[in-house]
Amino acid sequence: DIQMTQSPSTLSASVGDRVTITCRASQSISSRLAWYQQKPGKAPNLLIYKASSLESGVPSRFSGSGSGTEFTLTISSLQPDDFATYYCQQYNSDSTFGQGTRLEIK
């Protein structure tokens, strides 16, 4: 099984900050990685697929990069609506998610 490890587990930031979340795969997954945002009591929402492709309707302040085993999600200027938990997901071999990164207000 491919393991996905996100860092940090919790991130404190302020509105307007630029933040980056990292996701590492235990083996190469090419660019077969997605990012999701989840708010409390709600279903996850797809942000990025194929490592760097922005899902329709997602604000352009979200971007993704990486390939192989290391990937990043960047939010260029945090907005109040962005405080949530973020998950990466590999779909190169079955499907596994990272443990999540909680983005909280500083």
DSSP the chain: ---EEEE-SEEEE-TT--EEEEEEESS--TT-EEEEEE-TTS--EEEEETTTEEPTT--TTEEEEEETTEEEEEESS--GGG-SEEEEEE-SSS-EE---EEEEE-
Q: Which two tokens stand for residue 100?
A: 């999540």
Counting residues that bind other proteins (by CB under 8 A) gives 20
By the rule CB under 8 A, 2 interacts with other proteins: no
By the rule CB under 8 A, 29 interacts with other proteins: no
By the rule CB under 8 A, 100 interacts with other proteins: yes
By the rule CB under 8 A, 69 interacts with other proteins: no
Q: Which two tokens stand for residue 38?
A: 């989840």
- Give the residue with the Cβ less far from other proteins, 72 or 96: 96
By the rule CB under 8 A, 95 interacts with other proteins: yes
Pick one of 55, 58, 63, 72: the residue that binds other proteins (CB under 8 A): 55
By the rule CB under 8 A, 97 interacts with other proteins: yes
Angstrom distance (rounded) from CA 3 to CA 13: 27
Q: Which residues bind other proteins (CB under 8 A)?
A: 32, 34, 36, 42-46, 49, 55, 87, 89, 91, 94-100
